[in-house]
Structure 1
């Protein structure tokens, strides 16, 4: 009898173990370190749940976004899908979009599809933002429209200028360094051309010249590297901070040999 009871308990334990193991594969794990859920909702067809994550509140400027997809009926995470992002500002008499970078792969990494949006203005009395997430997965093509809140960045991280060479408007977004230090830092900005209120293609034709300045001290710094285009409008270089304090990162943007415009970003540490 004791042997029978022991075998019964062992069998029940194994059933529980394997049942739990199967459930853990089917039920989607939630993003963990440094991510917070900022929006979510069902697609128009109500069969896919969309969740949007970021490392912080959304702000005016370049925001990396991470999308998680779930089957609405089973709760199982969708690991393969094609995703397109379209931010939309809704104002009283008009609408406009903003630059967006879609996930570059159709396979989730750690359960997330990563892209980015450059929000051009804060939410408020002037208007409100929604994020349209278009999804194509398992033969299903649908979309979810979720409201998002955007705050004004404490330090401006988005600049614009009208080109002196072709009259087009350009947006310049600051990406790096996020944690500046004394010494050489990676510098990254992204540049977009404003073709219309709905079309913001990434730029690759401009050349950038960097001139760091510490206005309070009246000096610059040596050993800087001008940002060079890498991909999808991202320009990467090096900036050398010789001391702590407020710096102005002056960027001259050229179209060929001619100056198209100038912008600068503040970095204070």
Structure 2
């Protein structure tokens, strides 16, 4: 009997130790992210948190929404999430608003408790006269009602600029931005671009029919680089390619956008 008690006692200790180890191995999905703001969606008992990889700046921003039941504080992992960036401007006593391109969550199921999305901010907004917010609309699983909340989003200027707005020869108003999925290094780097066409001041659609050509160069050094891969369209306004940086310093990525025999050009400067 004493041996049985000893065995049960030892088993309890080992089980407790295993639970402690398991708890230590659980990683917070928001670890390494920066909390931007939070708000409550009235009528559906939901708290909304907005997270990002870093402070928001003009250009492409990867964002994440976390949802919680405001009564139980339990994480919500299934819901329809829609976002709309809104810029509110006060000028000479007049109020104006406009939006910017955004990429909606692809699923109504969270990825590791977070709903990934993106926004391309076209101008800074961090004053009382010019300020961004993210209008988030939620429809929780099993509920018929929707709830909407405005989450403040302070947006600084990127330097060098990571977003360009241009009007094509066909009259399309485009928002073009670039980003690197991984911090660039000497050698071949994955390069992504996102292009949206403005429908009106509050709506943008993915521009999926452009042929892109990139030509990197170092203007101060008088040379470019070989083995670049022109970005091609994938989905949701994204184009994926590769750029070769042969050394650190000041680079310029020249970009041609071609459609229906017409070509438009722009460029992005960057330093790494």
1:125, distance to aligned residue in structure 2 (A): 5.3
1:179, distance to aligned residue in structure 2 (A): 1.6
Q: Which runs of 5+ in 1 are unaligned?
A: 1-5
Counterpart of 1:128 in structure 2 is: 131
1:46, distance to aligned residue in structure 2 (A): 5.9
Counterpart of 1:158 in structure 2 is: 163
After superposing the two structures, state which structure 1 stretch, 229-238 or 29-38, moved more. 29-38
Counterpart of 1:246 in structure 2 is: 250
**Contact 1:207 / 1:256 at 8 angstroms: preserved in 2?**
no
* Secondary structure at 1:232 match in 2: coil
Report the Cα distance in structure 1 between the residues aligned to 2:30 and 2:200, rounded to whole angstroms: 38
1:48, distance to aligned residue in structure 2 (A): 0.5
1:183, distance to aligned residue in structure 2 (A): 1.1
Q: 1:50 aligns with which of 40, 48, 51?
A: 48
Counterpart of 2:206 in structure 1 is: 202
* Secondary structure at 1:136 match in 2: strand
Classify 1:181/1:221 alpha carbon distance in 2 versus 1 (closer, same or farther; 3 Å).
Answer: same
TM-score (norm 1): 0.86
- How many residue pairs were aligned? 248
Report the Cα distance in structure 2 between the residues aligned to 1:117 and 1:88, rounded to whole angstroms: 11
Counterpart of 1:3 in structure 2 is: none
Matches within 5 A, 1:16-55: 31-45=29-43, 47-55=45-53
Q: 2:110 aligns with which of 105, 108, 111?
A: 108
Counterpart of 1:90 in structure 2 is: 88
**Contact 2:44 / 2:146 at 8 angstroms: preserved in 1?**
no
* Higher strand proportion (structure 1 or 2): 2
User: Which runs of 4 or more aligned residues in structure 1 lie more than 3 Å from their structure 2 counterparts after TM superposition?
Assistant: 29-32
> What are the Cα deviations for residues 190-212 of structure 1, in whole angstroms up to 9, with x where unaligned?
00111211111111011111111
**Contact 2:44 / 2:147 at 8 angstroms: preserved in 1?**
no
* 1:186 and 2:184 aligned: no
1:126, distance to aligned residue in structure 2 (A): 4.0
Q: Which runs of 5+ in 2 are unaligned?
A: none
* Secondary structure at 1:121 match in 2: coil
1:39, distance to aligned residue in structure 2 (A): 0.7
Report the Cα distance in structure 2 between the residues aligned to 1:177 and 1:51, rounded to whole angstroms: 23
1:177, distance to aligned residue in structure 2 (A): 5.6
Counterpart of 1:141 in structure 2 is: 146
Classify 1:142/1:30 alpha carbon distance in 2 versus 1 (closer, same or farther; 3 Å).
Answer: farther
**Contact 1:190 / 1:234 at 8 angstroms: preserved in 2?**
yes
